[in-house]
Amino acid sequence: MKHPVAKTAISLAILLTAASCAGGESVIYCTEDDEWSGSPTCQESRCAMPVRPWNGREIRFRRGRQVGGIAIFRCMEGFELIGSRRKRCSRTPQGLKWEGGMTECRATNSCANPDALPGANWTLVRSDRRSHRDDETFSPNTKINITCWPGYVSSVGQSIQITCGMSGEWNPPIPTCQEVICPSLLESEADIEHLQSNMENRTYRLGEVVDYRCDAGYRILGKTWRECSGPSFYFPNQTWSDLDPICSEIECPDPGYIQFGGSRYLESTEVGGSVHFRCRSGYSLQGTAVRYCQSDGQWNGTLTTCDHERFYCPNPGIPIGGRMVNSHLARFQKGERVSYECDRDKALIGTAEIECLESGGWSGEPPTCQGPNDFEDTLKIAARLGYNIDSLAITQPQATISDNNSTGPSGRFIDLGYTQGMDIYFVFDASGSIPRAHFQYSLDLAKALISKVGGADGPRRARYGACVFASEAQVSFLVSDPQPSVDIVLTLIDELIDQHSPDEIGRGTATGKALQLVHETMIPAAHDRPNAKKYLFLFTDGNTNMHANVALPKYEAETLRERFKVQIHCIGVGEEIDRNELQEIASHPLSEHLFFIKNHGEMNLLAQAITRQKLDYSPCGYNQGLSDAVTPRIAGGEHAESGDWPWQVALFCDQNIAGCDDCVPTFFCGGSLIARNWVLSAAHCFKTCDVQDIRVYTGIIDKSRDSLLQFDPTKVFNLDGDDALIMHEAFNRQLDNDIALLRLSRNVTFNPYIRPICLPQENMGDEELYSTNKEPYVAGWGATDPYDLEGDCLDDTYRPTSPVLKELAIPVRTDKECRDSIQDHFRCSIVTAYKPAIAFCAGYSEGNLDACKGDSGGPVMRQLRAADGSRRWVQIGIVSWGEGCAQEGRYGIYTRLSAYKEWIHNRIGAPAYAIM
């Protein structure tokens, strides 16, 4: 039962000794609500737990930590107590405190400061709170970490923790870090026959590498390099990684057999041995008849096949180390497919199934079967890679394509007329299998490529990004980072040698993660140039062994190629590379995007070769770098791509425009470059333009007005005097002998977009040159719409020519078809007879597609196999004349170039156009 209290009554709160009030007031009142105001809570007061001295024992208490309580301090054995042994908990104006002064445990002994350690660094890990690195001594139980410098090692490892003992000695003792100098291997190497290295006259420190190679005719079994790695826990007496390699004598693989009853005589598969091939009667041997085993384990020459005139497409042959799956059914007719497989120890590089196309060529890329020891000669790789890099570096004069129906040129390697710049990404494998010295070789090769292409301040406006990868991938720098000059980019590449560590990226190989990093992080960071052309160079020495479940290289590369339009170049190094994986990553054609290098030493030579090389573009009949594959095309009026026909020239008349800055010359004919200072064209082109007014434009695709005003004047040529135009002496108004030579006033500088075409060679017969089974090509800027002559047979109507170079596949017709066409369908021509000795005809019987007015003088060309086994574009004719354009039943008439080999030879000399 409650007892009421008067509202004016006052109740005093009494504070007990050794207690304190928490909240409320010390005086409370009974309020009008019959409640007490702010009742305090009283609790016992205690001093805070005292801090135990460094190296002190557990503190004991007498009467606890309340006011009046005593704290008793003790030291560990070997330490002397300095200061108050006892402290009392007392009430002070500042609150409850322990009184009694400072207490510490001072060691009887102490350890000396390690000071500067030769070959090592040390850090203070655990000590009393008053110790500093610069103190002369440290108390017992102080701990420090000692780490040897890179290139130094101690007997107890690279890093160790030591503790100051009670005796004043460090335990374990301070280690001595000594520089690792691996012993010379010259004595052990001397016992290995045919082995060579770069060991002599060098001192090898930790991380340095010795590279091995064998004499010609031998290959290394084992590692091609050893690293000075120093002793380890498992191998305390070992300083060099791996074991001495040995050199094994090289043999070439079985060269295989040829189809259709062909025979072979195999002398030997040893270096210097030969194999002789023969075809049975009725078949012609293509490729190399006698092949020799080279010192690199490869057969020289080209694939040998037996061909037959009944084949629509040439016999593609069977690659060494492989087989044609359906060879018993092979007839090589239009639309037929041929499949290939390789032996178990080899990878199929190229297209596994190819199709015989209407053009007479095969789809895809010729397959080869490559084993782990099959590598291309480094100088050949340098040339192949160099031609491609040169394609990026050379300024193409064409800037725009003015034809509204055109999407613009898009060459297989790069559209050099593109003005939005290029972003180039380098992806470096930094996994545990690549020592520092070999990683530097990858950087050196990248630097050689950068020096070739140029920087953001150059005409290509190239920017660069880079990342490194092992188990994880890491961005090194972005294309959006400041890159004012090539030198800055080269410095950024150099800095990569020290920017990654196994602690950050691991030691495995996660190629897919690196490719994923490029398209998820690096490309989006280049938001300021979303339309820049994109190129990627991957450097690796192995195959994916990590994270393929989250980033499969094949699919990450597919995203880069298809979504972001990145052209991917793969550079694989060594015998452990996964050739199939890199083939799935690289862009096509593989001949321009996939490179296998024997070892990192060869990569170093490759970088030097690219830096010093002077590329030769003078060999005739090559387009788009070194590719000799037949490019499948739609037969009809397609826009030519930049570099497809690098010998095509445009002829202009430069009359009456002197002093006019916005005037352009008048186009009148096409032509072809056949030597450094010689152009081939049609004689009928030169009716109205004086010799001194003729201008020859080389490397041209777009002849629109805007393009001509911006055209590079160094690629425009005058003729070399009044006698520089040489028309055939028997040319007449019936257009017989419609051929002319133009001698230029100076030599042309060849490059990927300006090259000569081959002329018919002595070993090329008319049956091959003018075969009706396979369609040659014609290119030019002629009229684009079909037309016929008016009733009065006059052709004075203006018909605009194409502003861009166009190409057309045209079927060669038989002599009977040509003769009947002229007799039955040419109603206006003064030519009454077909003359097959000096001309041929080609075209479509239904019309619609044809070489037209404005194409005159241009080349008719087809790709043929030369005597050296290479496939070259050979000019077989010159666009001459026709009646109307693309009319049903009327074929175009072309100069038969094989009839004029001697005439050309007598005026320019055989070496100028011979296939070398």
Catalytically active residues, by annotation: 684, 738, 856
Half-sphere exposure of 614 (CA within 13 A, CB side): 3
Strand partners, 826: none
Task: Give whole-number Cα distances, 693 to 522, 727, 883, in Å.
Answer: 53, 17, 29
CA atoms within 13 A on the CB side of 593: 22
Residue with tokens 């300024």: 395
DSSP string, 347-403: EEES-SEEEB-TTSSBSS---EEE-TT----HHHHHHHHHHHHHHHHSPPS------
Residues 6+ apart with CB under 8 A from 266: 254, 255, 273, 275
Q: What is the widest separation between alpha-carbon atoms in the chain?
A: 146
Cβ 855 vs Cβ 780: under 8 Å: yes
Instruction: Answer for the pair 618, 398: CB distance below 8 angstroms, yes or no.
Output: no
Q: Give the Cβ contact number of residue 565 at 10 Å.
A: 11
Distance CA 756, CA 746 (A): 15
Of the candidates 249, 247, 248, 244, the one whose C-alpha atom is nearest the C-alpha of residue 189 is 244
CA gap 302, 772 in Å, rounded:
26
Measured in degrees and rounded to the nearest 5, phi and psi for residue 818 equal: -65, -45
Cβ neighbours, 10 Å, residue 898:
20
Structure tokens at 142: 């102080």
Q: Which residues contact 664 (CB under 8 A, 6 or more apart)?
A: 657, 705, 708, 709
Quick one: tokens of 218?
Answer: 């031998």
Phi, psi of 496 (to 5 degrees): -65, -25
Angle subtended at Cα 731 by Cα 726 and Cα 737, rounded to the nearest 5 degrees = 95
Q: Which residues contact 475 (CB under 8 A, 6 or more apart)?
A: 465, 466, 467, 517, 521, 522
Query: What is the sign of the dihedral through the CA atoms of 76, 79, 85 and 90?
Result: negative
Structure token pair of residue 61: 């208490």
Residue 269 structure tokens = 């598969």
- CB burial of 710-729 (b: ≥16 within 10 Å; e: otherwise) equals ebeeebbbbbeeeebbbbbe
Residue appearing with tokens 């020495």 = 541
Distance CA 715, CA 724 (A): 18
Two tokens, residue 398? 């064409």
Q: How far apart are CA 847 and CA 786, in angstroms?
A: 8
Residue 909 neighbours by CB under 8 Å, 6+ apart: none
Is 546:509 a contact under the CB 8 Å cutoff? yes
The token duo for 382 is 């340098």
> In whole angstroms, what is the distance from residue 368 CA to residue 370 CA?
6
Nearest of 425, 429, 375 to residue 543 by alpha carbon: 429
For residues 663 and 657, the answer to whether their CB atoms sit within 8 Å is yes
Encoded amino acid at 359, one letter: S
Q: Which of 601, 490, 537, 483 is nearest to 225 (CA)?
A: 601
Interatomic CA distance for residues 738 and 838, integer angstroms: 9
C-beta of residue 571 within 8 angstroms of C-beta of residue 604? no
Helix pair 600-612, 436-453: axis angle to 10 deg: 20
